[in-house]
Structure 1
Amino acid sequence: MNKFKSFFTFLAFIWLYSCGFWALFRWISVGGIAWLGLAVNALALPVWMILRLWRPARYRGSLREDPAFAAVLLGLAVVLVTDTGKGEPAYLAIYNLFILLAYLFHLSALRQPEMPGVNERFPPLCTVEGQRLDPAAGVREGNIEGLVLVFLRGTFCADSRALLSKLPELGELLNHYNAQLILFSTEDKRRWAHLWRGGQLPEIVQLAEEEEANRPFVAAGGQPLWQRLFRPSTPTAGVCRPGLWLLDGEGFVLWRHLPGNYRTPGDVDLLKGQLSRLGE
């Protein structure tokens, strides 16, 4: 299913780019406001996603991607008003709206597998070095009161980058509650280091995608198709399923956030509101 979604997401964005630039060409060559409206309608989502990847801390996403959604509807409205003959621009603009909705609510949707529940012990995970990481043991050895676990989908993901850019804001609260932040990814930690803006980099654990213990937390084949085509040196095709976890001093789950869409991985404000559970 992950490969299916990656393939059709890739096709969707290729179509939107092609339709948008073709509409610009038609607008320049033959004129007509309808073609300009179609260009806005087609390119709104791709341009918005580029902006989010480029400046994740500034351009924050949401379930509906409101700025892109508004631009798509604006382009559609221009086309419907100006294309009185209901020609190609009108049909293509409506089709592009369908692609946007399919991407927002289906192609980017997540089906989370069975995970440890609240008041259950968080399981050990396996790193690419072959080590077995037991968060509960780490809490005991480190003499800390709790753990905040953040699973990052990948450096290619604007939402993971946006979340990472805000995590330094947790510093004071983590110190107050004597808690430790641990990040999980299937990518090498060096890929994340240049994205961190909060002083000392927290621990980043690289998970082995082929290990059975990691299976609930790693989506095999979840890497976008464009990443595999244009960055073939990437060593893994699996990505972490986004999720936020709060563990107590015994390694039991106090709270968890498992999003139903990879574009809504949770945010720092959500974590801030849950850290007080460590003091209860």
Structure 2
Amino acid sequence: MLLVRANPQAAGLEPVVQVTPEQAGWTYIGFEVYRLRPGDTLDVDGSGREVCAIVLEGVCDVRAGDERFTEIGGRDSVFDPVPPEAVYCPPGHSLRVEARTRAEVAVASAPADRGASGPRCIRRADIPYEHRGAGQTERFIHHILDEHHPAEKLLLVEVVTPAGNWSSFPPHKHDEDVPGRETYLEETYYYRFDPPHGQALQRVYDKQGLDEVLAPGDRDLVLVPRGYHPVAAIPGFRAYYLNVMAGHQRAWKYQLDPDYAHVAPKDGNIMGRVERAPDRA
């Protein structure tokens, strides 16, 4: 199973899309998305798992353990030119999300022994903005919970790819541990489109026989258990995706497909220009 279709009728406490490690057939990532109505209250069990609730759209209050964080979020759309806001919660703490407005909330989790010390709110000012690629590979990234933010397993970024452009490019993989070169990381892609009736094309492949071409639509979820995984945003539709990664080590190290060496950076680094100021309105 590499593509999980959204339930377009889901609202309130019914997940729009959901995957557990058992369903995915892997070890780490659990992921779900909710479209909350004003006044809805979502409770998340953090037993044995670190959890991050990302307010993709709308405004929520969040209680994490004994901490209460108010007015989290504020975007009208995931395509607004500002980052989301989120709350991180280490294992052993309950987490409650209360919607102040209509809201779309993603919940990412991974097994953890201790997590980072204490629940915390991740505000817009904490989230770096990255301009990656150029021309037909240009895209824009918010580092919600990257290696510079404390956590035990989770890594979270969101990406907006202009219509007609390529993303997750050149193709790269992170499905084995190779010291200093690659780390094993499971990954999910949660998609949104502008206009919303769009789709993307995503290929997931390796050199051992895996080769799938997927066409995720709005609010669908793609699972990447292994292999290379480039994305094409079709002409006429901007593509958004929220990436969750988790694995044995909390480090994003990858290897590029050698077939694309002629279009890859000479140093193999596909990262772009990272800035502290995220607002590009």
Normalising by the smaller structure, the TM-score range is under 0.3
Point out the structure with max Rg over C-alpha. Answer: 1
**What TM-score results when the alignment is normalised by the length of structure 1?**
0.25
More strand by share: 2
**What TM-score results when the alignment is normalised by the length of structure 2?**
0.25
More helix by share: 1
